[in-house]
C-alpha cells in the first residue's frame, strides 16, 4: 500500500454489485484531490455451496430461485444505467471466483499497490466486460501477465494449499467482522453495504 488513506472494501469478483460498486468508488475517487487507496478483503458468495475440498456443489439449494436472480438482474441493469456502465453479463452463477481471489490475495501481500490494483481491475473487467471465466488458470495467467506479473507466480499461488487456506480464513474473518453481503465499504468505524452511489461513499469517508 502507499501512504494514501484507505477505504476497506469487502467484495467477491463474481458479484455484479461489487463491480458496480467499484465503479461508484472510482467515480468518487476521481473527485478527490488526495488519492484514496483500496484495502481489499475477499468474501465468498459461494460459501453455502462450497464443499470441504473447496469445489462448488451446484446441487446445493442456497435459497436463490429464478425470481431472486431475475430481480437481481433488474437491479444490475438499473445501476448500469445510473452509473453509465455497460456489462457483458448481468449475473455469473456458474463461475468460481476462488482461484482469482487466491491470486489477488497473494499479489496484495507480495507486490506493490499498483500491480495488485491492475490485476484486480483486470479480473473484474474480464468477467463483467468480456464474459471470461475467471476461475480458469489460463485466464488468470493472461490477466496477471498484462499486469506485469510472471506466469510462474500465478501457478505457484494457485498450487499453494496454505495460501488457499489463508484465503478461506479471510472469508471466515469477514463474516466474523459482521459482513453479511457485498460490496461492503468501511471507513473509520462506519460502513455502507451495496453498490451505493458515489455521494454515499463520499459521506462515508468525509462525513458530509
pLDDT-derived band at 208 (thresholds 50, 70, 90) equals: low
Q: Which of 1-5, 68-72, 96-100, 193-197 is predicted with the least confidence, judged by mean pLDDT?
A: 1-5
Residue 185, domain member (yes or no):
yes
Mean pLDDT of 61-66: 82
DSSP the chain: --SS-EEEEEE-TT-HHHHHHHHHHHHHHTT-SS--EEEEEE--TTGGGB-TTS-B-TTS--S--HHHHHHHHHHHHHHHHHHT---S-S---S---HHHHHHHHHHHHHS-HHHHHHHHHHHHHHHHTT---TTSHHHHHHHHHHTT--HHHHHHHHT-HHHHHHHHHHHHHHHHTT--SSSEEEETTEEEESS--HHHHHHHHH--
Residue 120's domain comprises: 6-206
Residue 77 above 70 pLDDT? yes
Residue 16, domain member (yes or no):
yes
Mean pLDDT of 35-39: 97
Residue 206 above 90 pLDDT? yes
Residue 141, domain member (yes or no):
yes
Residue 201, domain member (yes or no):
yes
Mean pLDDT of 69-78: 95
User: What does the pLDDT read at residue 63?
Assistant: 80
Residue 83, domain member (yes or no):
yes
The more confident residue out of 150 and 48 is: 150
Q: What is the pLDDT of residues 119-140, one digit of tens each?
A: 999 999 999 999 999 999 999 9
User: What does the pLDDT read at residue 44?
Assistant: 96
pLDDT-derived band at 53 (thresholds 50, 70, 90) equals: confident
pLDDT-derived band at 109 (thresholds 50, 70, 90) equals: very high
CATH of the domain at 26: 3.40.30.10
d(CA 61, CA 99): 23
Residue 32, domain member (yes or no):
yes
Residue 106, domain member (yes or no):
yes
User: What does the pLDDT read at residue 65?
Assistant: 82
Q: What is the pLDDT of residues 1-30, one digit of tens each?
A: 578 999 999 999 999 999 999 999 999 999
Which cell numbers hold the place of 76?
444490475
Sequence-separated (6 or more) residues with CB below 8 Å from residue 20 = 76, 79, 80, 83, 85, 195
Which cell numbers hold the place of 9?
472494501
Residue 1, domain member (yes or no):
no
Q: How many domains does the chain have?
A: 1
Sequence-separated (6 or more) residues with CB below 8 Å from residue 151 = 141, 144, 145
d(CA 64, CA 55): 19
Q: Which percentage of the chain shows pLDDT scores above 90?
A: 84
The more confident residue out of 64 and 151 is: 151
Amino acid at each position: 500500500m502507499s501512504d494514501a488513506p484507505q477505504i476497506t472494501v469487502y467484495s467477491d469478483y463474481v458479484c455484479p454489485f461489487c463491480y458496480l460498486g467499484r465503479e461508484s468508488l472510482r467515480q468518487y475517487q476521481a473527485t478527490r484531490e488526495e488519492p484514496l487507496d483500496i484495502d481489499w478483503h475477499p468474501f465468498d458468495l459461494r460459501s453455502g455451496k462450497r464443499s470441504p475440498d473447496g469445489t462448488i456443489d451446484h446441487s446445493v439449494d442456497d435459497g436463490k430461485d429464478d425470481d431472486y436472480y431475475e430481480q437481481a438482474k433488474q437491479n444490475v441493469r438499473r445501476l448500469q444505467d445510473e452509473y453509465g456502465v455497460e456489462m457483458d453479463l448481468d449475473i455469473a452463477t456458474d463461475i468460481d471466483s476462488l482461484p482469482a481471489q487466491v491470486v489477488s490475495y497473494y499479489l496484495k501481500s507480495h507486490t506493490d499497490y499498483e500491480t495488485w490494483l491492475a490485476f484486480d481491475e483486470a479480473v473484474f473487467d474480464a468477467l463483467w466486460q468480456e464474459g471470461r471465466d475467471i476461475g480458469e488458470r489460463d485466464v488468470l495467467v493472461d490477466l496477471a501477465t498484462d499486469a506485469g506479473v510472471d506466469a510462474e507466480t500465478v501457478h505457484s499461488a494457485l498450487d499453494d494449499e496454505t495460501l488457499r487456506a489463508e484465503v478461506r480464513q479471510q472469508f471466515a474473518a469477514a463474516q466474523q467482522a459482521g459482513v453479511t453481503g457485498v460490496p461492503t465499504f468501511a471507513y473509520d468505524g462506519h460502513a455502507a453495504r451495496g453498490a451505493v452511489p458515489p455521494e454515499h461513499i463520499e459521506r462515508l469517508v468525509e462525513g458530509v
